[in-house]
């Protein structure tokens, strides 16, 4: 499903977010010592986080262990639905959310609407360069690589994907074996399709997507369904999958092979930001500092996600996020071209956007 936020809504929301900073209950963020911040956050006593189910539950468990006096409430789900909820609450001048930890495309959209506060804190010196965007009021909080994967037992001696361009003239043996997801509803899929659009151009990139139609590729409902079909071998080749999913399957002993495409994988990130209208600004700041710290990032790593810290390695069995060959993706530009990219994908594959 595609979720659209019109320019008028974003501008109106931005104006209201600035005005609402004066609303009651928005105390100033402590700027002194860590002890002062903890005291101020515990005095607020609450924290509300919206975002990605996989990441948020790990982060909240880690934060609760460190700061049990702060009650954390979460709302998780589809990235664009969560963003629309955030916008609706701010338009009503009834802000609820303090921290947003979600796919980077939705964080960029929220920032463009003027809804995010400055985030000039955290352990910047300990973070990978890829964790700090050139512009924007957010950090990248964890990453994943979008790469090739297939079920070795089900593929047998059939050819396996080497590069994205293999799909221009896909082997007949792949007919009925490949699955993919919808870029209108999946941020990871949008990142991949946008990278193909930018790297190869509309003609060559379109030829890659048309190849999916030639081999009767199945469009599945979500990345979770894609992973299940790979695990069972029902659709033993993923057009792409993410490193979180493949690491989990490898950890379970599923006979899955993983490969960086020869032209490059696509890096996709979740980002963390603080609402400009956060009802609990000190708790929000404390959470971000904890989430980017070594302990919380270690917890993410143990869950097979890529950390964004320099002092932590990659998940077992996966290449380094910094060293893996990647297709360059300008996500800010891709979001400006979002409608055109989705229409191009639909026309090339024959799949409906909705």
Average pLDDT of the chain to the nearest whole number:
89
User: In this structure, is residue 317 part of a structural domain?
Assistant: no
Q: Is the pTM above the cut of 0.85?
A: yes
User: In this structure, is residue 308 part of a structural domain?
Assistant: no
Same domain for 235 and 273, yes or no, is: no
Predicted confidence (pLDDT) per residue in 70-100, tens digit: 999 999 988 888 999 998 998 899 999 999 9
User: In this structure, is residue 2 part of a structural domain?
Assistant: no
Q: What is the CATH number of the domain that holds 29?
A: 3.40.190.10
Same domain for 196 and 281, yes or no, is: no
User: In this structure, is residue 314 part of a structural domain?
Assistant: no
Same domain for 191 and 98, yes or no, is: no
| Interval 310-315 mean pLDDT | 91
Same domain for 262 and 277, yes or no, is: no
Same domain for 296 and 263, yes or no, is: no
Confidence of residue 3 (pLDDT cuts 50, 70, 90): very low
Classify burial at 316, counting beta carbons within 10 Å of its beta carbon; exposed 0-12, middle 13-18, buried 19 or more. Answer: exposed
Q: Determine the pLDDT at residue 25.
A: 39
- Tally of domains within the chain: 2
Predicted confidence (pLDDT) per residue in 133-155, tens digit: 989 999 999 999 999 999 999 99
Cβ atoms 308, 142 nearer than 8 A: yes
Confidence of residue 125 (pLDDT cuts 50, 70, 90): confident
Predicted confidence (pLDDT) per residue in 23-59, tens digit: 333 444 444 348 999 999 999 999 999 998 889 999 9
User: In this structure, is residue 176 part of a structural domain?
Assistant: yes
Torsion angles phi and psi, residue 207, rounded to 5: -65, -35
Same domain for 159 and 128, yes or no, is: no
Higher-pLDDT residue of 349 and 80 is 349
Confidence of residue 104 (pLDDT cuts 50, 70, 90): very high
Predicted confidence (pLDDT) per residue in 274-291, tens digit: 999 999 999 999 999 999
User: In this structure, is residue 316 part of a structural domain?
Assistant: no
Confidence of residue 112 (pLDDT cuts 50, 70, 90): very high
Does 15 have pLDDT greater than 80? Answer: no
Q: Determine the pLDDT at residue 316.
A: 78
Same domain for 95 and 244, yes or no, is: no
Same domain for 220 and 236, yes or no, is: yes
Does 6 have pLDDT greater than 80? Answer: no
Same domain for 238 and 276, yes or no, is: no
Does 7 have pLDDT greater than 60? Answer: no
Same domain for 123 and 53, yes or no, is: yes
């Amino acid at each position: 499903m595609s979720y659209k936020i019109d320019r008028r809504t974003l501008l109106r929301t931005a104006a209201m977010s600035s005005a609402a900073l004066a609303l009651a209950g928005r105390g100033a963020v402590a700027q002194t010592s860590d002890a002062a911040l903890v005291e101020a956050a515990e005095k607020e006593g609450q924290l509300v986080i919206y975002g990605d189910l996989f990441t948020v539950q790990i982060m909240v468990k880690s934060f609760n262990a460190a700061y049990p006096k702060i009650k954390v409430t979460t709302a998780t789900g589809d990235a664009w639905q969560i963003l629309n909820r955030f916008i609706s609450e701010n338009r009503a001048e009834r802000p609820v959310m303090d921290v947003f930890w979600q796919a980077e495309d939705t964080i960029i959209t929220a920032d463009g609407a003027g809804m995010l506060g400055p985030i000039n804190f955290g352990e910047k010196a300990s973070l990978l360069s890829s964790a700090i965007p050139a512009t924007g009021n957010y950090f990248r909080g964890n990453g994943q690589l979008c790469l090739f994967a297939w079920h070795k037992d089900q593929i047998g001696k059939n050819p396996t994907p080497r590069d994205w361009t293999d799909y221009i003239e896909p082997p007949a043996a792949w007919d009925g074996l490949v699955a993919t997801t919808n870029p209108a509803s999946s941020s990871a899929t949008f990142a991949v399709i946008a990278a193909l659009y930018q790297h190869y151009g509309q003609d060559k990139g379109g030829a890659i997507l048309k190849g999916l139609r030639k081999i009767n590729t199945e469009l599945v409902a979500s990345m979770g369904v894609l992973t299940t079909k790979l695990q069972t071998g029902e659709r033993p080749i993923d057009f792409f999958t993410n490193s979180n999913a493949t690491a989990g399957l490898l950890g379970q002993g599923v006979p899955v092979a993983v490969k960086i495409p020869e032209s490059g994988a696509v890096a996709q990130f979740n980002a963390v930001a603080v609402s400009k209208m956060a009802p609990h600004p000190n708790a929000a700041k404390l959470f971000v500092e904890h989430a980017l710290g070594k302990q919380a990032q270690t917890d993410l790593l143990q869950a097979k996600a890529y950390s964004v810290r320099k002092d932590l390695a990659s998940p077992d069995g996966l290449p380094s996020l910094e060293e893996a060959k990647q297709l360059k993706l300008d996500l800010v530009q891709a979001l400006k071209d979002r409608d055109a990219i989705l229409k191009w994908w639909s026309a090339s594959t024959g799949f409906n956007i909705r």
